[in-house]
Amino acid sequence: MIGLSSDDLGMFFEPRHQELAARLRAAAPAIAAVETSAGQGEAARDAAAVAALGDAGLFGLVAGGSIDVRSICLARELLGWVSPRADSIFAVQGLGAYPLSLAKAHLDLVTKAAEGDAVLAFALTEPEAGSDVGAIATHAVPSETGGWILDGEKTLISNLGVATHAIVFATLEPGAKGATRAFVVPIDTPGVKVEPMQATAPHPIGRLILRGAKLPASALVGGAPDTSGLRLALATLDTFRVTVGAAAVGMARRAMHEAITHVRARVQFGAPLATQPLVQAHLADMAVDLDAARLLVLRAAFAKDAGEHARTEVSIAKLGATEAAQRVIDRAVQLVGGRGVMAGAVVEHLYRAIRPLRIYEGTSEIQRTIIGKAVAEHA
């Protein structure tokens, strides 16, 4: 049975989370099958992942209504175990829907996203605007018809390739503080082009190029000139950041499961590898890292659901869990040995899948900056 934190850390959860855990386990086989039975190409697998998540009703956890962070964490823990590809699609659906929910705008699109009838992308990052989101150069100008015209380029945008709409962050006045706004951009809008990119761990990702893309006035999220797109973006990242740690936990749990299975079965020098003290030392370190990661994530998720801002706790969880998961998976590869670095091995796939989690939604360095400042000022 796939391990979930609700099994043994029940003090962080409520009965509804136990019900969700049962739903997640029931959905797991269909989602896991995406990687092996969804046609010949990556695009087919991406589309199959969207369909599997929609059929399971999981998009409703991240789109529409109020957000329960612990529920999203449970879902991402399971998805990290069964399909990092599906986890990425699921998470970005939430990143796209949440700004609309905050602004109480385009709620019909949020409903479609919750039902899996629309797929969203969160188009914030640019070639020269990564951690420094204030450096956004994509430009929006009013059109003669009362709408908007967008020009610019977004890069490293997940869900491009399956997305029907992108939430695009653009500035009304380049270089001006507070001039960023959010716009809903249908992918089939004339002047919008998607260029696929290839990441180390396969999932839909690409560049979004806007060249004179004409949008109606209603495309502006919030509909008011003073609706800060940057505030919406940062609030979204702050809400979902801790769930990145949960995905890392799921990947690490799968890697540890694979490693334990291997060392119990693999016989060397007349005994299973699991009996060797050095192997047991690796397993001990993995167990400590994994439990620390789970506890950090659930502390932050519990605080978020209680209505606390918990910015420092969230950064600690994101940093601690992703870095710990990287160590766990690296040790799993070491324990599996030569087979662990062969293409197609589970731990090899996880080794590629875990690395981006230390970068997106705030790099480890950004999290250290947030934590260090809080400690220096308040400890």
User: What distance in Å separates the CA atoms of residue 304 and residue 28, rounded to the nearest whole number?
Assistant: 26
Tokens of 306: 């209680």
Residues 11 and 148 in one domain: no
User: What distance in Å separates the CA atoms of residue 231 and residue 365, rounded to the nearest whole number?
Assistant: 21
Residues 314 and 351 in one domain: yes
pLDDT digits (tens, 9 = 90+) for 19-65: 999 999 999 999 999 987 656 688 999 999 999 999 999 999 999 87
Q: Which residues make Cβ contacts (< 8 Å) with residue 219, sequence separation at least 6?
A: 147, 148, 183, 184, 185
Residue 209 bridge partners (DSSP): 153, 193
pLDDT tier for residue 129 given thresholds of 50, 70 and 90: confident
Residues 251 and 346 in one domain: yes
pLDDT tier for residue 66 given thresholds of 50, 70 and 90: confident
Residues 245 and 350 in one domain: yes
Residues 265 and 374 in one domain: yes
Looking at residues 329-346, what average pLDDT do you find?
96
Looking at residues 328-350, what average pLDDT do you find?
96
Whether 242 has a pLDDT exceeding 60, the answer reads yes
pLDDT tier for residue 132 given thresholds of 50, 70 and 90: confident
pLDDT confidence of residue 302: 98
pLDDT confidence of residue 40: 67
- Of 115, 149, 171, which residue constitutes the final position of a domain? 115
Whether 134 has a pLDDT exceeding 80, the answer reads no
pLDDT confidence of residue 179: 87
User: What distance in Å separates the CA atoms of residue 57 and residue 301, rounded to the nearest whole number?
Assistant: 22
pLDDT confidence of residue 227: 63
User: What distance in Å separates the CA atoms of residue 294 and residue 246, rounded to the nearest whole number?
Assistant: 7
pLDDT confidence of residue 224: 55
Please count the structural domains in the chain.
Answer: 3
pLDDT confidence of residue 177: 72
* Catalytic residue ranges: 361
Reported pTM: 0.95
Whether 158 has a pLDDT exceeding 90, the answer reads yes
Residue 125: give its domain's CATH number: 2.40.110.10
Residues 313 and 373 in one domain: yes
- Of 115, 139, 174, which residue constitutes the final position of a domain? 115
Q: By residue range, what is the domain housing residue 105?
A: 5-115
Residues 239 and 370 in one domain: yes
User: What distance in Å separates the CA atoms of residue 185 and residue 106, rounded to the nearest whole number?
Assistant: 11
Looking at residues 158-173, what average pLDDT do you find?
96
Per the model's pLDDT, the better-predicted residue between 293 and 230 turns out to be 293
CB 322 within 8 A of CB 244: yes
Whether 301 has a pLDDT exceeding 70, the answer reads yes
CB 171 within 8 A of CB 206: no
User: What distance in Å separates the CA atoms of residue 294 and residue 75, rounded to the nearest whole number?
Assistant: 14
Looking at residues 368-374, what average pLDDT do you find?
96
Residues 373 and 239 in one domain: yes
pLDDT confidence of residue 266: 96
Which residues in 291-329 are b (16+ Cβ under 10 Å) and which e?
Answer: eebbbbbbbbbbbbbeeeebebbbbbbbbbbbbbbbbbb
Q: Which residues make Cβ contacts (< 8 Å) with residue 183, sequence separation at least 6?
A: 140, 148, 150, 167, 168, 169, 170, 215, 219, 220, 221
pLDDT confidence of residue 183: 97
Residue 17: give its domain's CATH number: 1.10.540.10
Residues 273 and 345 in one domain: yes
Residue 356: give its domain's CATH number: 1.20.140.10
User: What distance in Å separates the CA atoms of residue 255 and residue 334, rounded to the nearest whole number?
Assistant: 11
Residues 280 and 177 in one domain: no
pLDDT confidence of residue 37: 67
pLDDT confidence of residue 10: 96
Residue identified by tokens 């049975």 is: 1
Percent of the chain with pLDDT over 70: 97
- Of 227, 250, 265, which residue constitutes the final position of a domain? 227
pLDDT confidence of residue 176: 72
Q: Which residues make Cβ contacts (< 8 Å) with residue 310, sequence separation at least 6?
A: 300, 303, 304
Percent of the chain with pLDDT over 90: 88
Residues 105 and 136 in one domain: no
pLDDT confidence of residue 106: 95
Residues 12 and 48 in one domain: yes
What mean pLDDT is reported for the chain? 94
Looking at residues 103-111, what average pLDDT do you find?
95
Of 238, 234, 239, 241, the residue nearest 318 (C-alpha): 241
pLDDT confidence of residue 379: 62
Q: At what angle do helices 346-354 and 229-265 cross, to 10 degrees?
A: 150
Q: Which residues make Cβ contacts (< 8 Å) with residue 78, sequence separation at least 6?
A: 2, 4, 24, 25, 28, 250
